[in-house]
Amino acid sequence: MATESTAKAFTPDPEFLLQVRNLKEYFPITTGFMKTTMLKAVDDVSFDIRKGETLGLVGESGCGKTTIGRTILQLYKPTAGEIWFKGKKIDSKESLREFRRQAQMVFQDPYSSLNPRMTVADIVAEPIDVHKMYTNKKDREARIHELMNLVGLNTEHATRYAHEFSGGQRQRIGIARALASQPEFIVCDEPVSALDVSIQAQVINMLEDLQARLGLTYLFIAHDISVVKHISNRIAVMYLGHMMELASANELTKHPVHPYTVSLMSAVPIPDPKVSRRQQRIVLKGDVPSPLKVPEGCPFRPRCERATEACAKTCPAMREVAPGHFAACHNL
Amino acid sequence: MSLLEVQDLHTSFFTSAGEVKAVNGLSFRLEKGKVLGIVGESGSGKSVTAYSVLQILTHPGRIVSGSIRFRDEELVGKSDAEMREIRGNKISIIFQDPMTSLNPTFTIGNQLEEAILLHTNRNKKQAEERAVEMLKLVGISEPEKRIRQYAYELSGGMRQRVMIAMALACEPDILIADEPTTALDVTIQAQILELILDLQKKMGMAVIMITHDMGVIAQICDEVIVMYAGSVCERGTADAIFYHPCHEYTKGLMRSIPDMNDDEKKKLIPIAGTPIDLLHMPPGCPFAPRCDRAMKICLQEKAKEYWVGHNHLSACWQNIRDGICSTERPEEEEEEA
Amino acid sequence: MSEKKKLKNPLSLQIDPDLFREATEEEKKQQVTMRESISFMRDALRRLRKNKIAMISLFVIIIIALIAFIVPTFYPYTYTKQDVTAQNLGPFQYSAKEQMKIDKGISVFPHIMGTDNLGRDYAIRVIYGTRISLLVGIFSALIVIIIGIFYGSISGFFGGKVDMVMMRIVDIIYSLPDVLIVILLSVAIKDWVSTSKSELIARLGAGMVSIFIVFGLLYWVSMARQVRGQVLSIKQQEYVLASRAIGASPARIIRKHMIPNCVSVIIIIAAMQIPSAIFTESFLSFLGLGVSVPMPSLGSLASEARTALRSYPYQLIFPALAIFLIVLSFNLLGNGLRDAFDPKLRN
Strand order in the sheet with B223-228: B91-94, B174-178, B206-211, B35-39, B223-228, B231-237, B312-314, B306-309
Mutate to test the interface with C, among A71, A117, A122, A133 (most CBs of C within 10 A): A117
Q: Which amino acid is at A287?
A: D
Distance CA(A274)–CA(A271), nearest Å, equals: 9
Digit-coded pLDDT (tens) for B237-275: 999 999 999 999 999 999 999 888 777 777 889 998 888
B-C C-beta contacts closer than 8 Å: 77
Give the separation between CA B65 and CA B25, rounded to whole angstroms.
Answer: 9
For the ranges A98-107, B117-126, C1-10, the lowest mean pLDDT is seen at C1-10
Alpha carbon C157 to chain centroid, angstroms: 27
CA distance C229 to C231: 5
Go through A82-113 and write b for each residue having 16 or more CB atoms within 10 A of its CB, e for each that does not.
Answer: bbbbbeeebeeeeeeeebbbebbbbbbbbbbb
CA dist., res. A229 & res. A238, Å (int):
15
Nearest to B240 by CA among B250, B249, B231: B250
Q: What is the pLDDT of residues C29-56, one digit of tens each?
A: 777 766 666 677 788 888 888 889 999 9
CA distances from A88 to A73, A318, C231 (A): 14, 25, 36
What is each CA distance from B240 to B135, B290, B313, C5, in whole angstroms? 37, 24, 10, 20
**How far apart, in whole angstroms, are the C-alpha atoms of residue B290 and residue A200?**
15
Instruction: Give A195-206 pLDDT, tens digit per residue.
Output: 988 899 999 999
Q: Which of C240, C246, C266, C346 to mutate to test the interface with A (most CBs of A within 10 A)?
A: C246
Structure letter (DSSP) for residue B193: H
pLDDT beneath 70, residues of chain C: 1-15, 33-38, 343-347
Q: Which of A54-58, A104-108, B29-33, B319-323 shows the lowest per-residue confidence on average (mean pLDDT)? A: B319-323
Between chain A and chain B, how many beta carbons pairs sit less than 8 Å apart? Answer: 133
Tell me the residue type at B82. Answer: E
Q: What angle do CA C202, C203, C204 make, to 5 degrees?
A: 95
Strands B35-39 and B4-15: unpaired
Q: By three-state DSSP, how is residue C123 classified?
A: helix
Q: What is the C-alpha to C-alpha distance for residues B306 and B315, in angstroms, rounded to an integer? A: 6
Cα–Cα separations (whole angstroms), residue B133 to A172, B141, B149: 50, 11, 16
Q: What is the 3-state secondary structure (H, E, C) of C134-191?
A: HHHHHHHHHHHHHHHHHHHHHHHHHCHHHHHHHHHHHHHHHCCCHHHHHHHHHHHCHH
CB pair distance less than 8 Å for A113 and C239: yes
Count of beta carbons in the 10 Å neighbourhood of residue A158: 18
Task: Show the DSSP H helices in chain B as ranges.
Answer: 46-54, 80-86, 98-101, 108-119, 124-137, 143-146, 156-168, 186-203, 214-220, 238-243, 248-255, 296-300, 317-322
Q: Which pTM value belongs to this model? A: 0.84
B162/B153 Cα distance (integer angstroms): 12
Rounded to 10 deg, the angle between the C40-50 and C52-74 helix axes is: 90
Q: How far is C232 from chain A (nearest CA, A)?
A: 14
Measured in degrees and rounded to the nearest 5, phi and psi for residue A165 equal: -105, 160
- The total of other beta-carbon atoms located within 10 Å of residue A7's CB is 5
Model pLDDT, residue B82: 92
Tell me if chain C has a CB within 8 Å of the CB of A5: no
Quote the minimal CA–CA distance from B79 to chain A in Å: 36
Chain A contact set for C252 (CB, 8 A): 130
Residue of A nearest to B239 (CA): A273
The reported pLDDT for the residue numbered A66 is: 92
Residues of C with a Cβ under 8 Å from any A Cβ are 34-35, 37-40, 237-239, 241-248, 252, 256-257, 260-261, 263, 343, 346
Query: CA distances (Å), A81 to each of A4, A26, A49, A145, A241, in order?
Result: 13, 12, 16, 40, 14
Predicted confidence (pLDDT) per residue in B197-223, tens digit: 999 999 899 999 999 999 999 999 999
Please give the DSSP secondary-structure letter assigned to residue B330: P
* Cα–Cα distance for residue pair B10/B26, rounded to 1 Å: 7
Distance from CA of B99 to the nearest CA of C (A): 21
**Closest CA of chain C from B91, distance in Å:** 31
Residues in chain C: 347
Domains and CATH numbers, chain C: 48-81+120-345 (1.10.3720.10)
Cross-chain Cβ contact A126/C238 below 8 Å: no
Spatial distance between the Cα atoms of B232 and B226, rounded to a whole number of angstroms? 6
Predicted local confidence at residue A11, as pLDDT? 82
Q: What does pLDDT average to over chain B?
A: 89
Report the pLDDT value the prediction gives residue B155, as an integer from 0 to 100: 82
| Distances from the Cα of A198 to the Cα of B179, B222, B253, B254, B257, angstroms | 18, 24, 6, 9, 8
- Look at residue A305 in the predicted model and tell me its pLDDT: 87
- Partner-chain contact A226 B260, CB within 8 Å: yes
* Inter-residue contact C65 to C134 (CB < 8 Å): yes
Contacts of C263 in chain A (CB under 8 A): 117
Task: For residue B270, give the nearest of A205, A287, A288 by CB distance.
Answer: A205
Name which residue leads in pLDDT, A244 or C265: A244
Min distance A231 CA to chain C CA atoms (Å): 23
Name beta bridge partners: A319: A327
3-state secondary structure of C105: coil
Contact call for C20 and B296, based on CB within 8 A: yes
Handedness of CA C200, C204, C205, C208 (dihedral sign): negative
Transcribe A129-175 into DSSP letters: HHTT--SSHHHHHHHHHHHHHHTT--GGGGGSBGGGS-HHHHHHHHH
Confidence of residue B3 (pLDDT cuts 50, 70, 90): very high
d(CA C220, CA C218): 6
Select from C284, B123, B172, B256 the least CA-distant residue to A203: B256
pLDDT of residue A144: 94
Is there a contact between A230 and B265 if contact means CB atoms under 8 Å apart?
Answer: yes
- Residue by residue, DSSP assigns B97-158 as -HHHHS-TTSBHHHHHHHHHHHHS---HHHHHHHHHHHHHHTT-SSHHHHTTSBGGGS-HHH
- Which member of B15, B289, B321 has the closest CB to residue C31? B289
Angle, in degrees to the nearest 10, between helices C40-50 and C314-341: 140
Task: Give bridge partners of residue A16 from the DSSP assignment.
Answer: A50
Name which residue leads in pLDDT, B97 or A213: A213
Q: What is the pLDDT of residues B163-200, one digit of tens each?
A: 999 888 888 999 999 999 888 888 888 888 999 999 99
- Percentage of residues in chain B having pLDDT higher than 70: 99
Question: What does the alpha-carbon distance between residue C200 and residue C71 come to, in Å, rounded to a whole number?
Answer: 21
Q: Minimal CA–CA distance to B127: which of B141, B145, B115? A: B115
Give the span between the Cα atoms of A327 and A259, in whole angstroms: 10
pLDDT for residue B334: 58
DSSP reduced 3-state for B40: coil
Give the closest-approach CA distance of C72 to chain A in angstroms: 43
| Rounded distance between C-alpha atoms, residue C144 and residue C266, angstroms | 9
- What burial letters (b/e) apply to B99-124, b meaning 16+ CB within 10 Å? eebbeeeebbbbbbbebbbebeeeee
Which residues, in sequence order, are CB contacts of C18 under 8 Å at separation 6+? Answer: B296
Closest chain C residue to B297, measured at CA: C19
For the residues of A266-324, what is the DSSP string, one character each? Answer: HHSPPS-HHHHHH----PPPS-PPPTTSPPSSSTTGGG-TT--HHHHHSPPPPEEEETT
Number of C-beta neighbours around residue B324 at 10 A: 21
Round to whole Å and give the CA distance between A209 and C201.
72
The verdict on A179 touching C (C-beta cutoff 8 Å) is no
Residues of C in contact with B290 (CB under 8 A): 28
Q: B41 vs A268: CB contact, 8 Å cut-off?
A: no
Residue A232 has what pLDDT? 94
Chains with 3+ CB–CB pairs under 8 A to B are: A, C
**Mean pLDDT, chain A, integer:** 89
Residues in chain B: 337
Lowest mean pLDDT among A277-281, B12-16, B18-22: A277-281
Signed CA dihedral, B113, B115, B118, B121: sign only: negative
Nearest by CB to residue B260, choosing from A60, A208, A270, is: A270
**Cis status of the peptide bond prior to B180, with omega within 30 of 0:** no
ipTM of model = 0.87
CA distance B277 to chain A (A): 9
CB-based contacts of B294: which residues, under 8 Å, 6+ apart? Answer: B248, B285, B288, C22, C23, C28
